[in-house]
Amino acid sequence: MLKQRVVTALVLIAILLPALFARQTWPFAVLTLALIAAAGWEWGRLNGAGAFAVPFGLLLAVACASALQSGWSDAPPGSVWWLATLVWVLGGAFALRGGPAAWPRLPRVARCALGLALLWTAWLALAAAKAIGTNFILSVFCLVWAADIAAYFGGRTFGKRKLAPGISPGKSWEGVWSGMLGALVLAASWVWLDAAFAMESPSLYTRLLSRFGAIVMVLMVLFLAAMSVVGDLFESLVKRSTGAKDSSGLLPGHGGVLDRVDALLPVFPIALAMVAS
């Protein structure tokens, strides 16, 4: 299993890095479009689409390709990000409060439509973040990763109070707080790096600091770290409602695409809302 995880991770990195550091936006947009279409197929399978899971993924790919063709991937309306933020905050709270038992009670069409909207918006945010600059998109990626790593070690070391035992028994409140601390340390370090070196674009943290000041920046980083947990819990809730361990087996040793991007789904649109003019 460990060998599979390492090999899969190395292959993904070898594919992702050239697209991420390409000067043009389209290689990264096309690569992430393929990944998000696979995530759409997984979402359809998890939500009872059956034979329509593949067409669902294709529909999502067409929606993303249409946005790319129209130029929305470079400069979408700021209202898209605020609407996505509202859906994630209110809808996430509603879904997590209901738990795995309540999720299947929603009409299948509504669950699939919600997944289509959330995945499309997440892809659009990824493409738009890349258009802003490599330093910017990396700073958002690393916020999620830093929060996740800090939460893992903080939870293992200090974890006592369970966060959501009916959804993800391994998560603790101490892990959440550790993740938030990790995100703050990353933000402070990145602001220093932006000031010390000539980056090709300001990071998320430098943009927030220059626009809102230090206190608001700290609050926003904490909020983004918290929303990464919501994204993780939401995908776990959907899987648990159907008894699935992984969203699929597309990534050997890692599960599915949704398993790897769940925490990113709310963070990127919300980060774009924060910096939208």
Position 155 pLDDT exceeds 80 = yes
Percent helix, strand, coil in the chain, to 5, is 80, 5, 20
* Contact assessment for residue 234 and residue 171, using Cβ atoms and an 8 Å cutoff: no
Position 64 pLDDT exceeds 80 = yes
* Contact assessment for residue 47 and residue 103, using Cβ atoms and an 8 Å cutoff: no
Please report the pLDDT score of residue 48 as a whole number: 86
| Residue-wise pLDDT tens digits, 73-129 | 777 887 899 999 999 999 999 999 999 999 999 999 999 999 999 999 999 999 999
Position 246 pLDDT exceeds 70 = yes
Please report the pLDDT score of residue 1 as a whole number: 57
Q: How far apart are CA 19 and CA 33, in angstroms?
A: 12
Position 277 pLDDT exceeds 70 = no
pLDDT confidence band for 71 (50 / 70 / 90): confident
Helix axis angle, 78-86 relative to 108-132, nearest 10°? 140
Average pLDDT, the chain: 92
* Contact assessment for residue 147 and residue 182, using Cβ atoms and an 8 Å cutoff: yes
pTM across the whole model? 0.94
Question: Which of 96-100, 197-201, 239-243 is the least confident region?
Answer: 197-201
**DSSP one-letter code for 251:** B
Please report the pLDDT score of residue 249 as a whole number: 87
Token digits of residue 138: 């990396």
Position 160 pLDDT exceeds 60 = yes
Strand partners of residue 164: 168
**Helix (H, G, I), strand (E, B), or coil: what is residue 94?**
helix
* Contact assessment for residue 42 and residue 256, using Cβ atoms and an 8 Å cutoff: yes
